[in-house]
Structure 1
Amino acid sequence: LPSVSCLNTLERLSFVICLHTKDLLLHQPRYGYRGWDTRKNLWVVKNGELLYFVATIAVLYDRTDDHQRHYTGHTEDIQCMSLHPNAVLVASGQRASQGHRLTANVQVWDSRTLRTLHVLGEGELGVGILALDFSTRNNGDYLLAVDADREHLLSVWAWTKGGIFGRVATHQDHVWGAAFHPLDNNLIVTHGRGLLSVWSRRKDGIFTRTDLFKDLLPRNILSIAYTRHGDLITGDTDGLITVWSVDADGEYFIRKQFKGHDGGVSTLYLLSEGTLLSGGDKDRRVAAWDCDEDFDPILETQLPEASGGVRSVTPQRPGMNDANIYVGTIKNMILEGSLQRRFNQVVFGHSRQLWGLTINPRDGSVATAGYDKQIVCWMHNRLMWRIQAQSECVSITIHPSGSVLAVGTIDGHLVIVRADSGKHVATVRVCGSPLSCLAYHKSGDTLAVGSQNGSLYLYKSTREGLVYTRFSKMKGEQPLSAIDWSESGKFLQTVTSDYDLTFWSLRTLSSVSDDADVQDELWVTQTCPLGYYVHGIWAGRKDSPIQVTVDRNPKGDLLAAGDTRGNVRLYRYPVLSPRAGYHQYKVYTSYVSSVRFSMADRLLYTTGGTDAALIRWRVPLM
């Protein structure tokens, strides 16, 4: 088994990520961030690095040097984050482990050294963390967290001392955020679905609650900010921006309310000179408002449709007043620009489930295809090209010559594109069901297509993959998920979604009735997670995760496996015993959808289905 230092480099490409942990180094994450389901998730730290998070990893991206660093102290998904007023320290909150409540925690760490300073809430917080915020008035000595349990417990720590400062159950409905008042550390605002409440902490530590919607029609509050004078600004799902002031009796009242966006106001950010920036999740607009002139509109711009709605906004140089901003989008992209000029893409990532992954044997480039209909090619950490298919993509493979990519879609079409440019070559109608797995014969003259209708379709491939002619169909009953060719080219092996291993004969064009017929066969690839040489990856316990995907390296001495809990494992091949040793890494939200070694053996690529993340691992020479 490889030593602890054997996996040294992991790289996220669609969310390219770099990190340093006990056993590995993830480096150069570049394309993508988690914008589809999180709020307040984009910052700029003191040294100018862009800060965001994906799965278990916090990413610090230096655009000037095109270099990324990573904080890897978390063992489960990061759900929220907050930047300290000094713009150096960071708090990040992770969800609880599956099936283990009270394992969520908050980690405070230094963005310069990536050193963990404090771990808070262990054994106290529930299934996850919904919101974090440092206090402003006392230089960030207090830190609040709202957990994801039913009562949404609000905890406040004097975090430098590690002690709890106060705790109160807030709401039983959805809480979407919380923040300290910038001028009073004893005031905290929580907001969410029909919620907008101010919590005041008394000297005896008891919190009192004031509901701002008590005598008003409740609204769903997506975002909040404060003016320099301490007035509260809220943005709701109807596109309204509301400014709340306090009268002489300490009562909150609406000072101004205006229509800011068509759809939800997903983010609010007050620039240092007093300009309020707002972002729309549906209209894709970023707008500027003059807080000193009764919130008169200043400028606005609209993001390209392909970028999706606005998720988060932050200035590129906080405090510099140069109008340049970063915008994180719902489609997992980060853009840079200003309201006076066009926005350019800084980070790109797939925005929906990602299942398709293949490596070009000729030049080492990586191609991915996802449910967002995007077919993407990456080379040396850079996005080379991307095109949009007509339908959701569920599988991808490459011709052995490296000339073309074959992509399987959810509606049963086979799409052929050139590997070097993405130029469309042909579209072939195969069936009416998703084409969930594809595999070329090693000569490239035959393509096997596995469908969720249970059938295998065989196509003759000529002119280096440019022309396809179907010559056979082998009918099955269960959806197929993986295909491997035998070295002799006489057999195929497939695995179904119900984890049945089936062998197919190309001579009889039917399934093999006697497994002894294939017992001496060697397999060109090992992507089926069942079989004699990989049965040791199955532990057999009821609580064991299901192995979704495997791949054997070209040298034939290592096996990578990914499971339903987001774990990536590295074994010695063959894996003949359930007691076989392995190295395991947890980096994904849920299941690992694909693992693939490069032809040079030095790199392993993995994809996570729901968080649409592509990661590159470097495997040292052994």
Structure 2
Amino acid sequence: MADRKYPEKRSQKNLKKQNLNLPHTERDAESMQMKQATAPSIHIWDAVNKQTLSILRCYHSKGVCSVSFSATGKLLLSVGLDPEHTVTIWRWQEGAKIASKAGHNQRIFVAEFRPDSDSQFVSVGVKHVKFWTLAGRALLSKKGLLSTLEDARMQTMLAVAFGASNLTFTGTISGDVCVWKEHVLCRVVARAHTGPVFAMYTTLRDGLIVTGGKERPSKEGGAVKLWDQELRRCRAFRLETGQVTDCVRSVCRGKGKILVGTKNAEIIEVGEKNAACSVLVHGHVDGPIWGLATHPSRDFFLSAAEDGTVILWDIADKKMLNKVTLGLAARTVCYSPEGDMVAIGMKNGEFIVLLVSSLKIWGKKRDRRCPIHDIRFSPDSRFLAVGSSENSVDFYDLSLGPTLNRVSCCRDIPSFVIQMDFSADSRYLQVSTGCYKRHVYEVPSGRHLLDPAAIDRITWATWTSILGNEVLGIWSRHAEKADINCACVSHSGISLVTGDDFGMVKLFDFPCPEKFAKHKRFLGHSPHVTNIRFTSGDRHVVSAGGDDCSLFVWRCVHTPH
């Protein structure tokens, strides 16, 4: 923040997402925004210029589980998560629904158009497969028949691909691949993978088929296989990326390369000729991303998630620089003021301090048995504050070395800790709590400061609290107490960003002491946004997602009020 406590409001910044330009409205009714943010919809994008081409407001009440373009690209097929798993055909460029019908009473996992057709498609799911035809505005379907194959049984189908002469291939949960002639089962390729076949892809140019599944790498097999047109012979690829990759969830093929999406949140490029592997995209594997910290002077940031990993990201190059596997779920992360140390709070109550230069452990301690919700270095780098769900904040004197002896704690906190911020002189700590009250404590004594006048004179080094008169305006008319999850004031002290349960990032002037303050809204995350931070120099904002396990980088554009 700026040196003065309440800097003048000089300008407001616009946020633009680094990779996607998302439309936003400035003064829509709040309730309508919340409804639209959570209602299922389908967005069609131009992959080159990243512009939105069409938004289809769905009739799928629970969500959309599968989409597929027709051969010409004029039609779009979607499948809903509603109880009837409705199948819908759209003319997406016009935003018009042309046909819809109940798909099946059991879950449908995938539905795809045949690659040479605008009228025929196949859907697969829990113990069923259906062959569909679009006839005008009507949808006609035939169930897959097992014919007279010995020991044939209907399995749960997870993937679908297509061959010449009206052949269809479906991957099963047992690792088999079923071969269908029209809608009749004619052959079973037993144990195509040792585990479930999660993905299949048909290449129109040569008819070859890629399958991806769960299979440990071996001399004879791997999680990715390339098959001939009739699925009789295959070549297996071992995904050698420095770690064992035995579960593939998505595959695609083109120009002599195979793209592979893994359960480990990686996208790997595999060369068909030499089987060379290159990791293009990294990410967190599982669980919400709770921890987020930006480097104090460089365009780097750290993310920590419940998958037990902490990842260092480079904003300029849009890539992962390093990854630390902790083995336990991580909940919060913080840089030291000089950027030479990193503190990580864990779900089991432990916290770890790493040296950035070597990523080696400088010290670790576990004085609590419940999750650490926030962790902060003091601006003078002497103290580390550790806030947990045990209604406590512990202070550690780092000048005493890596033994990390607790020197004091705040004892009278009425609920679990949500956010913490040090004062600029390192003498005070403000704590936002689960009962939605903000408290201020002296450092390191932990004495509760109750004098409003004294609190009002404090200049804060950072502000991430969602509570206090300075941020009263972030709460909308219809917001409940738990709706806003995170906030961050820019280093200049003139702007404030928040993340909420509806997937929205909001931009305010700071301070915003008046109720229902004017702001701008930006959509991109699915619910909910767990954390948000300005980067050094306020050039970017980084937001973390819960259900979507995603990290968004937004560009800050300075504009006049």
TM-score by length of 2: 0.85
Q: Work out which of the residue numbers 409, 419, 440 in structure 2 matches 1:473.
A: 409
**Equivalent in the alignment of 1:533:** 470
Moved more, 261-270 or 361-370: 361-370
**Equivalent in the alignment of 2:20:** 19
Q: Work out which of the residue numbers 261, 272, 278 in structure 2 matches 1:328.
A: 261
Indicate how the Cα distance of structure 1 residues 293 and 307 shifts in structure 2: closer, same or farther if over 3 A, else same. closer
Indicate how the Cα distance of structure 1 residues 605 and 165 shifts in structure 2: closer, same or farther if over 3 A, else same. closer
Contact 1:102 1:123 in 2 (8 A): no
Partner of 2:83, secondary structure, is coil
**CA deviation after TM superposition for structure 1 residue 456, in Å:** 0.9
Q: Deviations over 1:347-384 (max 9, x none)?
A: 11112321111122233421222212212222333322
2:100 equivalent to 1:167: yes
Whole-Å separation in 2 of the counterparts to 1:414 and 1:484? 18
2:422 equivalent to 1:490: no
Whole-Å separation in 2 of the counterparts to 1:451 and 1:398? 18
Q: Deviations over 1:560-580 (max 9, x none)?
A: 111111111111111101232
Indicate how the Cα distance of structure 1 residues 182 and 614 shifts in structure 2: closer, same or farther if over 3 A, else same. closer
**CA deviation after TM superposition for structure 1 residue 267, in Å:** 0.6
**Equivalent in the alignment of 1:235:** 171
**Equivalent in the alignment of 2:4:** none
Q: Deviations over 1:501-522 (max 9, x none)?
A: 2222337533345545523322
**CA deviation after TM superposition for structure 1 residue 494, in Å:** 0.7
Q: Deviations over 1:194-235 (max 9, x none)?
A: 221122445783524324369963311110001122211010
Contact 1:409 1:434 in 2 (8 A): yes
**CA deviation after TM superposition for structure 1 residue 280, in Å:** 1.0
Indicate how the Cα distance of structure 1 residues 382 and 147 shifts in structure 2: closer, same or farther if over 3 A, else same. closer
Moved more, 369-378 or 401-410: 369-378
2:201 equivalent to 1:261: no
Whole-Å separation in 2 of the counterparts to 1:570 and 1:204? 45
Q: Work out which of the residue numbers 486, 502, 505 in structure 2 matches 1:568.
A: 505
Indicate how the Cα distance of structure 1 residues 383 and 135 shifts in structure 2: closer, same or farther if over 3 A, else same. closer
**Equivalent in the alignment of 1:7:** 14
Partner of 1:487, secondary structure, is coil
Tell which has more relative contact order, 1 or 2 (C-alpha 8 A, sep 6+): 2
Moved more, 415-424 or 509-518: 509-518
Contact 2:10 2:494 in 1 (8 A): no
Contact 1:101 1:127 in 2 (8 A): no
**Equivalent in the alignment of 1:132:** 67
Whole-Å separation in 1 of the counterparts to 2:94 and 2:24? 31
2:357 equivalent to 1:420: yes
Indicate how the Cα distance of structure 1 residues 467 and 614 shifts in structure 2: closer, same or farther if over 3 A, else same. farther
2:187 equivalent to 1:252: no
Contact 1:404 1:466 in 2 (8 A): no
Contact 2:289 2:304 in 1 (8 A): yes
Contact 1:462 1:468 in 2 (8 A): no
Work out the number of aligned pairs and report it. Answer: 531
- For residue 314 of structure 1, what is the amino acid of its counterpart? C
Partner of 1:372, secondary structure, is coil
- For residue 571 of structure 1, what is the amino acid of its counterpart? F
2:281 equivalent to 1:347: yes
- For residue 126 of structure 2, what is the amino acid of its counterpart? R
**Equivalent in the alignment of 1:437:** 374
Whole-Å separation in 2 of the counterparts to 1:294 and 1:538? 58
Q: Deviations over 1:415-473 (max 9, x none)?
A: 1112234233222223222211111111011111101111111000128x866332112
2:249 equivalent to 1:311: yes
Indicate how the Cα distance of structure 1 residues 423 and 276 shifts in structure 2: closer, same or farther if over 3 A, else same. same
Whole-Å separation in 1 of the counterparts to 2:454 and 2:54? 60
User: Identity over aligned residues, as a percent?
Assistant: 23
Structure 1 unaligned residues grouped into runs of 5+: 12-17, 25-95
Moved more, 490-499 or 527-536: 490-499
Q: Deviations over 1:587-612 (max 9, x none)?
A: 11112211212232322222122322
**CA deviation after TM superposition for structure 1 residue 413, in Å:** 1.7
**CA deviation after TM superposition for structure 1 residue 152, in Å:** 2.0
Indicate how the Cα distance of structure 1 residues 577 and 450 shifts in structure 2: closer, same or farther if over 3 A, else same. same
Indicate how the Cα distance of structure 1 residues 232 and 422 shifts in structure 2: closer, same or farther if over 3 A, else same. same
Q: Deviations over 1:467-516 (max 9, x none)?
A: 63321122235221111122343322111233222222337533345545
Whole-Å separation in 1 of the counterparts to 2:73 and 2:427? 68
- For residue 375 of structure 1, what is the amino acid of its counterpart? V
Indicate how the Cα distance of structure 1 residues 98 and 188 shifts in structure 2: closer, same or farther if over 3 A, else same. farther
- The within-5 A match list for 1:36-115 is 99=35, 104-112=40-48, 114=50
Partner of 1:518, secondary structure, is helix
- For residue 232 of structure 1, what is the amino acid of its counterpart? T
Contact 2:130 2:141 in 1 (8 A): no
Partner of 2:190, secondary structure, is strand
Moved more, 279-288 or 187-196: 279-288
- The within-5 A match list for 1:397-412 is 397-412=334-349
Contact 1:408 1:415 in 2 (8 A): yes
Whole-Å separation in 2 of the counterparts to 1:433 and 1:109? 43
- For residue 14 of structure 2, what is the amino acid of its counterpart? L
Partner of 1:468, secondary structure, is coil
**Equivalent in the alignment of 2:458:** 521
TM-score by length of 1: 0.77
Q: Deviations over 1:403-423 (max 9, x none)?
A: 111111112222111223423
Whole-Å separation in 2 of the counterparts to 1:207 and 1:455? 62
**Equivalent in the alignment of 2:5:** none
Indicate how the Cα distance of structure 1 residues 3 and 131 shifts in structure 2: closer, same or farther if over 3 A, else same. farther
Whole-Å separation in 2 of the counterparts to 1:156 and 1:389? 46
